[in-house]
Structure 1
Amino acid sequence: MYIQWKKIIITVLDIVLAVYLFMAVTSWNSPDESGMVCSKVNISISDSNNAGFLTAGEIKRILEKARLYPLDRKMDGVNPRAIEEALKVGPFVKTAECYKTKDGHVNISITQRMPIIRIKSNSGADFYLDDNGGILPNSKYTSDLIIATGNIDNNFARFYIAPLAKAISASPLWLNQIEQINVLPDKGIELVPRVGDHIIFIGYLPQNKGSWTRKHEINLFVTKKLSRLEKFYRYGLSQAGWNKYAYIDIEFDNQIICRRRDANAERAEEQALEKEEKAGRTADRKRTEEEEREKARKEVERQETAADGPTE
Structure 2
Amino acid sequence: MHIKWKKIIITALDIVLAIYLIIAVTSWNKPDESKLLCTQVNINISDSNNAGFLTATEIKQILKKAHLYPLNKKISDINPRKIEEALKVGPFVNTAECYKTKDGHINIYITQRMPIIRIKSNNGADYYLDDNGGILPNSKYTSDLIIATGNIDNNFARLYIAPLAKAISASPLWLNQIEQINVLPDRGIELVPRIGNQIIFMGYLPRNNGPWKRKHDINIFVTKKLSRLEKFYRYGLSQAGWNKYSYIDLEFDNQIICRKRDEKTEKAEEEALLKQPKSEQAEEIQRTEEEEREKARKEVKHQEDATAGLTE
TM-score class, shorter: 0.7 to 0.9
Stretches of structure 1 lacking an aligned partner (at least 5 in a row)? 1-11, 283-312
Match of 1:98 in 2: 98
Distance 1:101 1:272 in 2: 74
- Cα distance, 1:13–1:151 mapped onto 2, change above 3 Å: farther
Amino acid at match of 1:95: T
Count of aligned positions: 276
Q: Report the alpha carbon displacement of residue 26 of structure 1 after superposing the two structures with TM.
A: 5.4
Distance 1:180 1:149 in 2: 7
- Cα distance, 1:168–1:35 mapped onto 2, change above 3 Å: same
Match of 1:258 in 2: 258
Q: Report the alpha carbon displacement of residue 264 of structure 1 after superposing the two structures with TM.
A: 1.7
Match of 1:41 in 2: 41
Amino acid at match of 1:150: G
Equivalent residues in 2 for 1:135-284, closer than 5 Å: 135-270=135-270
1:217-242 Cα shifts (integer Å, max 9, x gaps): 10110010000001111111111121
Q: Report the alpha carbon displacement of residue 88 of structure 1 after superposing the two structures with TM.
A: 0.4
1:61-114 Cα shifts (integer Å, max 9, x gaps): 000000000001111111111000000000000111111111111111111111
- Cα distance, 1:15–1:82 mapped onto 2, change above 3 Å: farther
Identity of aligned residues (%): 80
Amino acid at match of 2:224: K
Amino acid at match of 2:217: E
Q: Secondary structure at the match of 2:67?
A: coil
Match of 1:80 in 2: 80
Q: Report the alpha carbon displacement of residue 31 of structure 1 after superposing the two structures with TM.
A: 2.1
> TM-score, normalized by length of structure 2?
0.80
Distance 1:79 1:275 in 2: 78
Q: Secondary structure at the match of 1:200?
A: strand
Query: Is 1:134 the equivalent of 2:134?
Result: yes
Q: Secondary structure at the match of 2:99?
A: strand
- Cα distance, 1:273–1:50 mapped onto 2, change above 3 Å: farther
Distance 1:103 1:68 in 2: 19
Distance 2:275 2:18 in 1: 93
- Cα distance, 1:33–1:150 mapped onto 2, change above 3 Å: same
- Cα distance, 1:239–1:29 mapped onto 2, change above 3 Å: same
> TM-score, normalized by length of structure 1?
0.80
Distance 2:22 2:270 in 1: 86
Q: Secondary structure at the match of 1:234?
A: helix
Query: Is 1:121 the equivalent of 2:126?
Result: no
